[in-house]
Amino acid sequence: MSSLRGKTAIVGMADTKVGKLPHIGATELCVEAAMLALEDAGISKDQVDGLVTCHSMTEPHMYHAEAVAEYMQIFPRYCVTANAGGGTTFSVLQNAAAAIATGICKTIVISMADCLRTGLTRDQAMALQSSTGHPQFEIPYGPTVPAFYALIARAHMEQYGTTPEQMAAVAVNGRNYAAMNPRAQMRDPITIEDVLASRMIADPLHLLDCSLVSDGGAAVVLTSAEQAKDFPTDPVYLLGFGEGHGHEHISQARSLTTSAAVESGRRAFRMAGMGPGDISVAQIYDCFTPVLLIELEDLGFCSKGEAGAFVAAGETALTGSLPMNTNGGLLSYCHPGNPGSMFGLTEAVAQLRGDSGERQVSNAETALVHGQGGIMSSHATVILGQEQVL
Q: How many whole angstroms separate alpha carbon 274 and alpha carbon 287?
A: 27
Backbone angles phi, psi at 369, to 5 degrees: -120, 140
| Residue numbers annotated as active site | 285, 333
Burial code of 99-136, b = ≥16 C-beta within 10 A, e = fewer? bbeeeebbbbbbbbbbbbbbbbeeeebeebeeebbeee
Instruction: Single out the residue of 104, 2, 91 nearest to residue 50, CA to CA.
Output: 104
Pair 40, 233: CB distance under 8 Å: yes
Give the largest Cα separation in the chain, rounded.
56
What are the strands, taking DSSP E only, across the chain? 8-15, 50-54, 78-82, 107-115, 200-202, 205-206, 215-224, 236-245, 281-284, 366-373, 378-385
Query: What are the backbone angles phi and psi of residue 226, rounded to the nearest 5°?
Result: -65, -45
Q: Measuring CA to CA, how many Å separate 313 from each of 248, 301, 308, 322? A: 34, 14, 9, 12
Q: Is the peptide bond before 204 cis (omega within 30 degrees of 0)?
A: yes
